[in-house]
Chain A
Amino acid sequence: MILGLPWDFVVFILFPALLMWVIVLLYYLGVFGREDEEVQS
């Protein structure tokens, strides 16, 4: 168990979900994908 949760749940479900959330956060903050903003209509 990791923090009371099954290890396979943490590795295969929780981690990928949090990773996706962080990637979208970085996108929103402009760490990448800035070209979308620059060419906005």
Chain B
Amino acid sequence: MNGIVLTSGAKIMMLATFAAYLVLLLLIGYLAERRFSKSYEDFIAAGKSLGAWVTAISASASAESAWVMLGLSGMGYKMGFAAYWAALGCVLGYFINSLFIMVKLRKMSGELGSYTVSDFFEDRLRDKSHLLRVISALIIFTSMILYVTAQFMGSGKTISGMGIASYTTGVLIGGVVIALYVLMGGYAAVSWTDLIQGLLMVFVLVIFPILAVIRAGGFATITTQLKQLGLASVLPGRQAVESLTWGFVIGQLGISIGYFGMPHILMRFITVKDTREAKRAAFISMSWGVLVFFGSVTLGVAMRVLLPSLGDPEQALPRFTVMHFSPIFAGLVLAAITAAIMSTADSQLMYASTALVNDLWIKLKGKRPEQKKLVTITRVVIAVMALISIVVAVLKAQVIYDLVLYAWSIMGAAFAPIVILSLYWDRYNRWGALASMIAGPVVTVVWHVVPALKSRVYELVPAFFISLILSYIVTLLTSGKEAG
């Protein structure tokens, strides 16, 4: 019903812009393949040589999924100003990462010689049993399949929502293009394409909200109109929206917790060239986050005034583009939305395969196969994962937002406490980390499936704090044993 009807000429122009973007991604994949697929370390970590811009924008773009373009603007449309709590929660996550995690993790992982997050956990906590490595790799693999599937579903929804092709074709376009450039260029291709994708996202989420606000008559008009709808306050009790409660506010701010537990984001901090570049990356990343999150909600809020009868709030951005701009711009927006999807899915695919091959297979096998064989095996794993995710995305339909937040919560609750305690507490040990890895996902799942709990606050908040406290207590209880 909310599908967008385009003339065939407009459709061709839009498709041409979009196709040019896809070709650019494949070209980057090819260039990365020429430079970074000779050795295994280059293929999975770009030789730990990334600069500040690539690190910052690729970490940020891969952290943000289709949700930031569609879900967040849809939230702005539906909830009005209250949706800015979600933007603030995300910015808080970037703030904590920028100030407390990025530089410190780069420094410590550099000293330890770690290449991945699982490497870091094992090296830092001196876990010779490989238990942390095995469990973390399993959590990462499971969560990322879920995550990648949600991204492919986002691709199907976006492409069908803009009237270009069916849902299934949309899933296939996203899935196949991502798989191809990741297969070619590995981590370098993922990071470079993420840089392009992240810049495209920030361009759209700065320019389009400004234009939307101007067309809606400015902020004063928007505020006045939303006030009449009861959507102009951010404080619970003053809004017409029933879902705006203090539990909602805490839950939205709790999104921030996830950022320092995401392996594919943390990996960028490990592979940045040095701590100086890490510091530059911290500022670039923070600036990107502020623009993107506030831009997305602002677009939704303005669209509520421009088009009050939109059936599906998540179509706010595509609808605004098609209504007000030439098909070339529509193609650009389509590219930006798919960029958000692809930059997340490619990093997940890359990291999940690295978890299986580098973190599990090589380390547990003990003997390291030759470089070329390792690259080939990693490529096979990437292809299989992409295929599974495409099939699941085609077969199963669930709200994108729910799926992504679920995976986000599992990894956030499992790993964020470990990252913090590893960086800031010398006595922290592997048993404490193990407690986090078990408690985090268990509490997340229990909280998520019990409606009475889920309706109170977003599951990541209790899961993180329970996981953190348990991690601390277990470390204290076992510290004598470890020392001995």
Q: Which A residues are closer than 8 A to B by beta carbons?
A: 1, 3-6, 8-9, 12-14, 16-18, 20-21, 23-25, 27-28, 33, 36-37, 39-41
Contacts and interface: CB of A to CB of B under 8 A. Distances in A.
Contacts of A23: 95, 99
Given A8-B234, A8-B238, A23-B99, 12 more contacts: A5-B223, A6-B81, A9-B81, A12-B235, A13-B84, A13-B87, A21-B290, A24-B286, A33-B279, A37-B275, A41-B107, A41-B110
A4 B305 CA distance: 15
Contacts of A6: 81, 223, 227, 232-234
- Could you tell me the dominant secondary structure of chain A's interface residues? helix
Interface in B252-279: 274-276, 279
A4 B95 contact: no
Contact of A24 (B98, B110, B221, B222): B98
Contacts of B110: 41
B283 A27 contact: yes
A21 B416 CA distance: 22
Interface of B: 81, 84-85, 87-88, 91-92, 94-95, 98-99, 103-104, 106-107, 110-111, 218-223, 227, 232-235, 238, 274-276, 279-280, 282-283, 286-287, 290, 294
A4 B223 contact: yes
Given A37-B276, A40-B276, A20 B286 contact: yes
Given A4-B218, A4-B220, A41-B107, A13 B234 contact: yes
Contact of B91 (A9, A20, A37): A20
Nearest to B249: A12
Contacts of B223: 1, 4-6
Contacts of B84: 9, 13-14
Nearest to A29: B283
A23 B222 CA distance: 30
Contacts of B98: 24, 27
B87 A17 contact: yes
Contacts, number: 93
8 contacts: A6-B232, A9-B232, A13-B84, A13-B85, A24-B95, A36-B104, A36-B107, A37-B279
B111 A41 contact: yes
Nearest to A6: B232
A28 B283 contact: yes
Contact of A3 (B219, B232, B280): B219
Contacts of B227: 6
Given A6-B234, A20-B91, A27 B219 contact: no
Contact of A27 (B92, B99, B220, B238): B99
Contacts of A33: 99, 103, 279
A25 B99 CA distance: 10
Contact of B294 (A8, A17, A40): A17
Closest 9 CB pairs of A and B: A4-B220, A4-B219, A40-B275, A28-B283, A41-B110, A20-B95, A24-B286, A13-B84, A36-B103
Contacts of B94: 20
Contacts of A16: 88
A27 B275 contact: no
Contacts of B290: 17-18, 21
A14 to B, nearest CB: 8
B109 to A, nearest CB: 9
A36 B283 CA distance: 14
Contacts of B232: 6, 9
Nearest to A10: B234
B283 A24 contact: yes
Nearest to B280: A28
A39 B99 contact: no
Nearest to A40: B275
A17 B290 CA distance: 7
A9 B104 CA distance: 33
Given A17-B91, A21-B287, A25-B283, A9 B234 contact: yes
A39 B84 CA distance: 38
A33 B283 CA distance: 13
